[in-house]
Amino acid sequence: MLPDNLRVFLRLCVIIAAIIVLLPFQLLIVYLHLPGKQLIPMLFHKIILWAIGAKVDVSGPIPKAGTLIVSNHVSWLDICVIGSVLPVSFIAKADISGWPLLGLLAKLQSTLFIKRDRRSDTANQSNAMQERLLKGDRLLLFPEGTTGDGTIVFPFKSSLFSSAELSETDRPIPIQPLSLVFSQLGGIPMSRCLRIKYAWIGDVGLLPNMLHILKSYSFTVKLTFHAPVNIVEAGGRKNLSTLTHRIVQNGVACTTAGALSQGEADNVEAAVLEVSAKPLA
């Protein structure tokens, strides 16, 4: 068993080597507009997860092209977990674009940066999101607007669903809820006390959170993709926000409970969808 400091050092070496090797290729692909710009980010995320001993357990229908995916947000590692299984671009707050290295990596994955505190930009940002979706991009949004503790999902901000409004083609944008849970440590279900240590919340700095994950033994993150919905089915933007929040929170609850079979989980989700179909406003 390796000492913590040596484990962290070796894992950082692998991650740094991956950046040095893959970054020039991604720069070339992006600036020359060559095909396959989403393949290298997926490979990079897979390498990071392999280096830190993280496994991803995926269930549910994989989102199709042109889908807006809405997920709960727990940690910076969410980007790597989701990006390792799906060619996807993320929607992030604008100030991340200025972060050293991380900002560059985000730009090279075609991240769409938005200014959430400026209402005057809402229409332009919504149009930009809708344009990307209609072109066939998969976009991922964390509509809580912050990170949670991995068990409780904060209410979704309905303003971030503005791109789901009917487009010029009158075709509703598919919205696919995704539940993300840090579920196991060393093959054993995580308790809430353990799960919260992997969450980047409150006054926890980015570097201490990264250090904890780099020191960690093998752990598993569960991704559950739920059936897509749209604004017409939900009956409006606010109802869509409430409905998708219910679905994501239910998915998180089913995973953290750890006692449901897949069939039982499907029955619970069907019941939630039936209830959620009723008027919410």
> What single string gives the DSSP state of each residue in 177-220?
EEEEEEEEETTEEPPHHHHGGG---TT--HHHHHHHHHH---EE
pLDDT at residue 16, rounded to an integer: 95
In a domain, 158, yes or no: yes
Q: State how far Cα 234 lies from the chain centre.
A: 22
pLDDT at residue 167, rounded to an integer: 55
pLDDT at residue 41, rounded to an integer: 94
In a domain, 73, yes or no: yes
Q: Which of 192, 200, 201, 180 is nearest to 248 (CA)?
A: 180
Measured from the Cβ of residue 16, the count of other Cβ atoms closer than 10 Å reads: 10
- Quick one: CA dihedral 47, 103, 68, 65, positive or negative? negative
pLDDT at residue 37, rounded to an integer: 87
CATH number of the domain within which 142 lies: 3.40.1130
Q: Which range of residues forms the domain containing residue 80?
A: 56-276
Q: Which of 175, 180, 153, 178 is nearest to 239 (CA)?
A: 175
In a domain, 197, yes or no: yes
- What is the domain count for the chain? 1
In a domain, 42, yes or no: no
In a domain, 68, yes or no: yes
Q: What is the C-alpha to C-alpha distance for residues 259 and 110, in angstroms, rounded to an integer?
A: 38
- Tens of each residue's pLDDT in the chain, 281 residues: 678 889 999 999 999 999 999 999 999 999 998 888 889 999 999 999 999 999 999 999 999 999 999 999 999 999 999 999 999 999 988 888 888 888 888 988 888 888 766 655 666 778 888 889 989 999 999 999 889 888 999 999 888 887 777 655 567 889 999 999 999 998 899 988 889 889 988 777 788 889 999 999 899 999 999 999 998 888 888 999 999 999 999 999 999 886 444 454 455 445 444 544 454 54
pLDDT at residue 169, rounded to an integer: 55
Residue 62 main-chain phi, psi, to 5 deg:
-70, 135
In a domain, 31, yes or no: no
Please give the helix or strand (H or E) that residue 53 lies within, else none.
none
What pTM was computed for the model? 0.86
In a domain, 95, yes or no: yes
In a domain, 13, yes or no: no
